[in-house]
Structure formats: C-alpha cells, structure tokens
Amino acid sequence: MRHVIFTMLLAVLLVSCATTKTQLPTDNVDELLGVAWINPEYDRYIGKVVWNDDGTFDTYNKSSDKDVRTQHEYILKEKWMEPNGSIFIKIIWTIITPRYVLLRISPDRSFYEYVDHPKEFLSEIDPKYPKYKIYYRQK
C-alpha cells in the first residue's frame, strides 16, 4: 500500500514539475531582436515586423519592403518559458490605441504567433481567434 501511495505522489510531483513555467527577465525581448519577422499573407497590411531594444517595433507594409511604414511603442509586462521551450510574452503595445498582446515564440525560434485584445490579456493563443497573427523568422 505504501508503495502505491509513494508512486502516486511521485507521479503528481513529476507532472507538476513538467508543467511549471520558468519566469524570465522582463527587461528585454532578446528572442525577437536582430531579425525581421514576416508573413507575405499579411502584405496588404503589415507584412513585416522588426523589434527594437528601445521599446519600439517597426512595421512594414510588405514582407519585402525596406522602408519603415510606422513605428510603435511596447511595454513588456511578463515573460516566461514553458517546459517545451516555447517563450510566452505579455506585451502592451500601442497602434492607435493600447492592445494587450499574448505572444508565443516557438521552441525552435522559427516563428511567433500572438493574439491581442483591447482590454485584457487573453489566457491562450487560439488560431481561430479573429485577432490571431503568425510571423516567421526571415531567412
């Protein structure tokens, strides 16, 4: 009987450790810097995004554009890593009005996806959500 209880407790501990997120410093978005993020499907609006370390990001109309369309400010609120290596970032950015953004960078850092909301951070990133977007690391 003690063996069964011990095994159950060990399983609970292992599961809780495997699902624990690791908080990361909120003074940078280094995982996004130094590269352009593109999605040609969005070329009619914002086809390319470049993140800057000064709390701004640049948007471009098309993924192939060289000239910045607009620059916007962001405030990093929270950042953590999931056990699978994905990095989640909560950001408030201003494009006309403030938006609450939940962003996930893939474990291999090849893409990021996000959802934004006008009043609060959403709890998950759902591709079916109307404000869902995905950008790929430009090669």
Is 15 part of a structural domain of the chain?
A: no
User: Does residue 8 belong to any structural domain of this protein?
Assistant: no
How confident is the model over 59-96, as pLDDT tens digits? 999 999 999 999 999 999 999 999 999 999 999 998 88
Domain annotation covers residue 113: yes
**What whole-number distance in Å separates Cα of residue 89 and Cα of residue 31?**
10
Residue 10 placed within a domain:
no
Average pLDDT over residues 102-121: 97
Residue 2 has pLDDT above 70, yes or no: no
In whole angstroms, what is the distance from residue 38 CA to residue 54 CA?
21
In a domain, 31, yes or no: yes
Res 19: pLDDT: 56
Query: Which SS3 state, helix, strand or coil, does residue 127 take?
Result: coil
In a domain, 124, yes or no: yes
Residue 105's domain comprises 21-137
Confidence at residue 14, expressed as pLDDT on a 0 to 100 scale:
38
Q: What's the token pair of residue 15?
A: 């599961």
Please give the Cα distance from 138 to 126 (Å, whole number): 23
- DSSP letters, 29-87, are -TTTBTSEEE-GGGTTT--EEEE-TTSEEEEESSTT--S--EEEEEEEEEEEE-TTS-E
Q: What domain count does the chain have? A: 1
Residue 18: what pLDDT? 47
The CA-CA-CA angle for residues 45, 86, 65, to 5°, reads 25
* pLDDT at residue 17, as a whole number: 42
